[in-house]
Amino acid sequence: MSDPEWTETDRGLVLALLEERASICSSCGHPMSQCRDPKTAQTWQVVTEVCQPSVIAQVTQEQMHEAKKRGVVIMTRRT
């Protein structure tokens, strides 16, 4: 008989992770206990940041579209 692939610790960790993920709002990424609480209304602010690789990828995608190139997979890597 072989050892089980998952130990009780492994199982406990996965269950804890699933429970944590279930408590996170899929819209904003904050804990639902905070973001859905009426007491936190008007206490949130929007913060924007620019992802530089996404800027380059988006420009390239627009150029590919204008050039009518299809099936191009766009990835980024730091040089």
Show pLDDT as tens, one digit a residue, over the chain (79 residues). Answer: 677 799 999 999 999 999 999 999 999 999 999 999 999 999 999 999 999 999 999 999 999 999 999 999 999 999 9
> Dihedral of the CA atoms 16, 20, 26, 30 (nearest 10)?
-160
pLDDT at position 73: 95
* Whether residue 60 sits in one domain with residue 22: no
Whether 57 and 50 have beta carbons less than 8 Å apart is answered as: no
Same domain for 37 and 54?
A: no
**Number of domains composing the chain:** 2
Same domain, 31 and 55: no
This prediction has a pTM of: 0.53
Same domain, yes or no, for 4 and 36?
A: yes
- Domain holding 39, by residue range, is 1-43
Please provide residue 62's backbone torsions phi and psi, each rounded to the nearest 5 degrees: -65, -40
Given a contact cutoff of 8 angstroms between Cβ atoms, the answer to whether 32 and 24 are in contact is yes
| 39 and 55 housed in the same domain | no
Closest Cα partner for 70 from 79, 61, 78? 61
